[in-house]
Structure 1
Amino acid sequence: MKLFGKHCAGMLAILALPGMVTCADITLPPPQIKGGQGIFTLLKSRHSSTPADFPLKNISAQELSSLLWAATGQNRSPRGWTIPLAMNTAPYNKIYVLDDSGVYRYHWKQNRLIRISDKNIKNGISPQNIVGKSPVVLVFVSGSNIKKEYVYTTTGAMTQNIYLAAESMGIGGRFVMTMNEKAIREGLKLKTGEYPLNLMLIGKK
């Protein structure tokens, strides 16, 4: 396993990443998309982690890969995804992955985390202190110049898919809407027309 340099130690500690890893970006292992519990069993047990559950424990690269695929993965060719998308387009909402070592943007086509920053911004993006206690924070961001009704409907589907996938793997999750938009815009280096939609706190129970 190729290890991170000192600036990448945080993500390495959280994800225990195998394979090709550099400080610039991270290639995730293929998602595990077979097996698991039935959908109605998962719906019955689906729940949010409570504040008392924090701090949550670390997750693996394999688990993160599977969660991200559930949220915005391609499940059939030539144009088909795990979520409904307006006008049968490619995914327009983006997912950013935050941990102690920095900020990454998920590239769904390459199953890759693109490094944006080496700053830990978790504590500043929400007034809820449990956000900073989560080993992984997912930030859902709108695509540029996409209708609001499209992006909010889509982020709801993405979030629910993560809840269900997380439940099947024994991983905790919590949906958060209370955000510091200015801090997120600056920390994620968002473009004009992009804006944060919600957060998802992820970690082992």
Structure 2
Amino acid sequence: MLRRGFLKFLVATPLGRFLSGVLAASTSSLAIYFHVSHTDVKRGAAGGERVIALPYPRLRGSVSVEEALANRRSVREFREEPLTLEELGQILWAAYGISEVTYGLRTAPSAGAQYPLELYAVVGERGVEAQGGFLTPGVYHYDPHAHTISLRKEGDYRRELYHAALDQIWVLTAPVSLVFTAVYSRTARVYGERGRVRYVPMDLGHAGQNVYLQATAMGLGTVAVGAFYDEEVARILDLPAEETPLYIMPIGRPLTRYRLAEDELVRYFERRRRR
């Protein structure tokens, strides 16, 4: 589905006029931007895959943005407790879900609204409570437009993912690990090599911070893992050739929770102002 209305709006802005001027010398590049269909919109569950409708995301919480920022830490030790299906759905939505319903825009900004990322959840045995039982362990793909997950591979792949991630134990002990992948061509077809080396990593950073802040607000914890064997992670997830794994983010309940008090922060600043 082509987002023509959004593109017309973009061109009407100063940024859009600037981009149009830059691309005027390359009619083919401008045509690509205006006539390409978004791959992520067309992608859904393959035939026979089990699709799970996630509980609808909440748009209000009890923790402010300021509190989440203050208490965000990288967490590497987790309790032996599952997530709920609602918690998993909320995390997935915060990471890369729909936050604007006219054009299907996301919770994370993306250069040219090309949305090159895909998101998977590697769910362990008894890793997610669902409907009085537990979600089948396996590799799930997130569909942001339907807010559903589809089971791509059945089985507990945490140990394989742990070995692929250079034996980082938190990948093994967390009940769920999110895995971000990128289809670089979605952004590169508009922005060329700059899209590949600069804009896609920016997209990943935005989405990763969303996961951190939402997890913190929910009393959960995560850590961004970038050290792993790409080919092994791609094999575990059965990724198509055009997808590249970028981030593993284990999610769970922290063994200990960090809390920053306002007076601690004030004392920190005051000590440095007196130097």
**Interval containing the TM-score (normalised by the shorter chain):** 0.7 to 0.9
Partner of 2:72: 46
Does structure 2 conserve the Cα–Cα contact (< 8 Å) formed by 1:138 and 1:199? yes
**Cα pair distance change 1:85/1:57, threshold 3 Å:** same
1:143 aligned to which of 183, 199, 202: 183
Q: Which residue of 2 aligns with 1:10?
A: none
Assess if the C-alpha contact under 8 Å between 1:24 and 1:115 holds in 2.
Answer: yes
- Alignment partner of 1:95: what SS? strand
Contact 1:55 1:130 in 2 (8 A): no
In structure 2, what is the equivalent of residue 111 of structure 1?
147
Alignment partner, residue 5 of structure 2: none
Q: Cα RMSD between the aligned structures?
A: 1.8
Shift of 1:144: 4.7
1:162 Cα deviation after fit: 0.8
What is the CA distance between 1:56 and its match in structure 2?
4.8
Tell me the alpha carbon deviations over residues 79-123 of structure 1, each in whole angstroms, 9 at most, x when there is no partner: 33211111123x320111001211011011111111110132222
Q: Is the 8 A contact 1:56 1:202 kept in 2?
A: no
Higher helix share: 2
CA contact (8 A) 2:222 2:252 kept: yes
Aligned to 2:116: 92
In the alignment, structure 1 residue 28 sits paired with structure 2 residue 45: no
Q: Is 2:167 the counterpart of 1:156?
A: no
The aligned runs of 1:67-86 (5 Å cut-off) are 67-79=91-103, 80-86=105-111
Q: Whole-Å Cα distance in 2 between the matches of residues 119 and 149 of structure 1?
A: 35
Q: Which runs of 5+ in 1 are unaligned?
A: 1-21
What count of residue pairs does the alignment treat as equivalent?
Answer: 181
Q: Distance in 2 between matches of 1:56 and 1:156?
A: 28
Kept in 1, the 8 Å contact 2:49–2:152? The answer is no
By how many angstroms is 1:187 displaced?
A: 1.6
The one-letter code sitting in structure 2 at the alignment partner of 1:67 is: I
Q: Percent identity over the alignment?
A: 28
**What TM-score do you get using the length of structure 2 for normalisation?**
0.62
Q: Distance in 2 between matches of 1:88 and 1:106?
A: 18
Partner of 2:183: helix, strand, or coil? coil
